Amino acid sequence: MTNQFQDAAFHTYFTPSTPSLFFPITRAIDDYLCDSPSSRIVGFWANLSWRWPGHQSWSETTSHLCEEEFHATLLRDPSSHLSSKDQMFREWENDFQPPPPDDSRRHYPVLADPPCVELHPFTKGVLSARSRRLQTAAFQLATGHCFSADYSIRFRSSAGDWTDCPRCGDLFTPTHVLEDGNCYVIERQEGDIDTFTLAQLFTSFSGGKRLSKFLHTNQVFLRPLDPAPPEIPPEPDP
């Protein structure tokens, strides 16, 4: 690099008696100058058979330079040869910042893991169910956008959704159904998720697979909550 000028070398292995290569070469030089107007090009003719005292011939010199250039590519940064997908995940991983503990958008650890080129174990477990409906429900649970009282209260407060559990009257939330609600104890035992905490359920292959089975067996979180029943007016006094 010299001041604002950048030296560039165009190697052409032909003699002036080969005019068929003249126009392609000149067009390439014109394009280069148009793209880099602050660059300069210095050119000269050299016969491939010329020799200099104590030096190799021009053809031997250029072959040696090509060999050096090839070996130089073997020492380049491996990241320069990554596929676009691998490069994307590398940049994603470098930019990743763990979410704060109070971030309401990060309900379960499945969404807080550093990015990886492979699917998360929970995701693999859910996909093993081979049901789009169950997959959708499981991922909605993981993101906190499922058909539950939490979602209705936060995003549909004026819709009049019925948010009570139909079995016990507590709020119909994922925690109530999947972990601590007494009215679903038998169902959790039959679905083999009674020994799983929510963190374990959403971070393992077995958790994703068993959650999908639980959703299918009990048909929960698969549809919007029913509207609140109409208020029954009090009976008139006799």
Mean pLDDT of 205-212: 94
CA-CA distance, 142 to 130, in Å (whole number)?
Answer: 18
**Tens of pLDDT along 217-233?**
999 999 887 776 777 77
**Tens of pLDDT along 16-38?**
444 555 566 677 777 777 766 66
**Tens of pLDDT along 117-146?**
778 899 999 999 999 999 999 999 988 888
Q: Kind and range of the H or E element at 58?
A: helix 58-73
pLDDT at 6: 45
Instruction: Name which of 5-9, 42-46, 96-100, 201-205 the model is least confident about.
Output: 5-9
**Tens of pLDDT along 166-192?**
888 899 999 999 998 899 999 999 999
Cβ atoms of 149 and 172 within 8 Å: the answer is yes
Name the more confident of 179 and 109. Answer: 179
Structure tokens, 154? 């936060």
- The answer to whether the predicted template modeling score (pTM) of the entire model surpasses 0.75 is no
pLDDT at 10: 46
Q: How many CB atoms within 10 Å of residue 75?
A: 6
- Contacts of residue 213, Cβ cutoff 8 Å, sequence gap at least 6: 129, 191, 192
**Tens of pLDDT along 48-68?**
666 655 555 656 666 665 666
CA-CA distance, 151 to 144, in Å (whole number)?
Answer: 7
Minimal CA–CA distance to 202: which of 116, 133, 114, 106? 106
Bridge partners, residue 164, by sequence? 171
Structure tokens, 57? 């011939």
CA-CA distance, 209 to 124, in Å (whole number)?
Answer: 8
Structure tokens, 149? 């009282």
